[in-house]
Structure 1
Amino acid sequence: MTHSRVIRPNIFKHIPQLVAGVSTRHGGVSLQAYQSLNLGVHTDDDPSTITQNLSLFCSDLGIAPESLARSYQVHGSEIWTTSCAGYQTGFDAVLTSEQGIIAGVGIADCCPILLADPVRFSVAAIHAGWKGTVAQIVSKTASAMMASGSNPTDILAYIGPCISLEHFEVGDEVAEQFESKEKRGTRWHVDLKLANATQLRDLGITQIEISNYCTVANNDVFYSHRKENGTTGRMLAVIGFQRRG
């Protein structure tokens, strides 16, 4: 792939006003381990550099950094339902029906899921590592959209780049909490993408695009917490409807 800053999901491309994308590690100004488009505000990278990177990423998407609604993520299953931008703590999903607000989650191996209902102008950005996946954060977030009036047949979903089945080796205590797993030699491997897709399908959401990218195998394109031993940057997965002009 080309070294662009943003991957744009195909499943959303036909929807006017909808902005959606996942950043890569390319096209920024961060140095060394964070090279180069680090968007992780809780990393040890230079804060002014992260701010500059965020401006570059948002510029490519045609949005303002000030329109983002994000949270410091804790590998839980709490959902921030918001009508305003800002930065919270303790939420691993951001849900909004406010046009002009862009929901975002940070990732570097965990699974990003973006949901959009173009009928109700409702969106969600979800961060699902193995703990969040086991805690059914995707199911809970999609159910919250449906409780607010979304029809599951109207919801489109994108499951983005994350650690793949091939590279996500886990211990028995993690594996036993998953159905989507394989034994490879003496070790278990877990499939985060399939586990989260199954949660969506169980709710009747069938319009799903699943990224082929693996953050470990494609470490030249994405940050990987596991591959880079914890010292690395973060990507951002964002989604929101622009205000009608």
Structure 2
Amino acid sequence: MDSLFYAPDITQAFRRIKAVQTFRNGGTSPAPWDSLNFGSNTGDAPERIKENRAILCNKLGISARMLATAGQVHGTTVALASTPGHYEQCDALITGTAGIFLCIQTADCFPLVIYDPISQSVGVAHAGWKGSAGNIAGATVRELRKHFGAEAQNCIAWIGAGISRRAYEVTSEVAERFSHACSSRTPAGHFMLDLSAVNRRQLSDAGIPEQHIESSPYCTFHDTTRFFSHRRDRGKTGRMLTIAGIMPP
């Protein structure tokens, strides 16, 4: 495990895919964004975020000019990233072009990575409760098939670190959208939601074999030394970056 990021076990058997989720340490940002912050809308200085990107890209052996980023509006729109750059009004990106590295920012929401080694295509998605309610996982799988012929049974998927069920208390209105993934009512009349399980089920329902899906063991809320958490830090915090792309042959 690197000090800046960790990688899923499930991708290690495939030479062409590079996928990681960053930790919060090793960057240049001061508190409350300390220190490897990638969130451009957090109040941190743009030059520090640029420096943090350079640190990460240098470690990964890629250029910051190879990154594709998403606007992340808590929806379910999937954008086709045919070139590096910023894609507005979307919460998922897909590409079949080697050398484009797709990026998702999170600080409690779940990042998803889906890779098809047959078609050599990859997708990333930002799965908060709204995106999960709209099945952004399934939408990303469908778009990979539409554009690249990726068959779900050939894909592998990674659910990165997010806020765990034991920390994610939601209202009854939210819980109604996820009845199969909520625990019993809390004393405050709320429910505990397991968004990781929601996305795992949606990936499975989309046709990805259960044994091809890996879920991160980390909880962003409870692991204060490794991760930013929007809920734990009351909104005054940074963002991790999940990045995935196809390496050239």
Query: TM-score range, shorter-chain basis?
Result: over 0.9
Q: Give 3-state SS (helix, strand or coil) of 2:152's partner.
A: coil
1:111-190 equivalences in 2 (<5 Å) = 111-147=110-146, 148-178=148-178, 179-186=180-187, 187-190=190-193
1:70-149 equivalences in 2 (<5 Å) = 70-147=69-146, 148-149=148-149
User: Which structure has greater strand proportion?
Assistant: 1
Instruction: Give distance in 1, aligned partners of 2:231 and 2:245.
Output: 29
Unpaired runs of at least 5, structure 2: none
State the partner residue of 1:199.
Answer: 202
Correspondent of 2:224 among 215, 219, 237: 219
Instruction: Give distance in 2, aligned partners of 1:228 and 1:242.
Output: 36
AA of the residue aligned to 1:149: G
Instruction: Give distance in 1, aligned partners of 2:195 and 2:93.
Output: 19
AA of the residue aligned to 2:128: G
State the partner residue of 1:230.
Answer: 235
Q: Is the 8 A contact 1:22 1:235 kept in 2?
A: yes
Unpaired runs of at least 5, structure 1: none
Instruction: Give distance in 1, aligned partners of 2:34 and 2:235.
Output: 14
Q: Tell me the TM-score normalized by structure 1.
A: 0.96
Instruction: Give distance in 2, aligned partners of 1:56 and 1:114.
Output: 22
Instruction: Give distance in 1, aligned partners of 2:63 and 2:12.
Output: 20
* Corresponding residue pairs, total: 243
Q: CA RMSD for the aligned pairs?
A: 1.2
The alpha carbon displacement at 1:12 in A equals 0.4
User: Which structure has greater helix proportion?
Assistant: 2
State the partner residue of 1:26.
Answer: 25
The alpha carbon displacement at 1:3 in A equals 7.1
Q: Following superposition, which runs of at least 4 residues in structure 1 exceed 2 angstroms of deviation?
A: 184-187
Q: Is the 8 A contact 1:165 1:190 kept in 2?
A: yes
Q: Is the 8 A contact 1:3 1:27 kept in 2?
A: no
The alpha carbon displacement at 1:184 in A equals 4.8
The alpha carbon displacement at 1:146 in A equals 2.2
Q: Is the 8 A contact 1:21 1:237 kept in 2?
A: yes
Instruction: Give distance in 2, aligned partners of 1:14 and 1:61.
Output: 18
Deviations 1:55-96 (A, max 9, x none): 111122221111111112100001111210001211100100
Instruction: Give distance in 1, aligned partners of 2:93 and 2:2.
Output: 28
Instruction: Give distance in 1, aligned partners of 2:182 and 2:30.
Output: 36
Q: Identity of counterpart residues, as a percentage?
A: 37
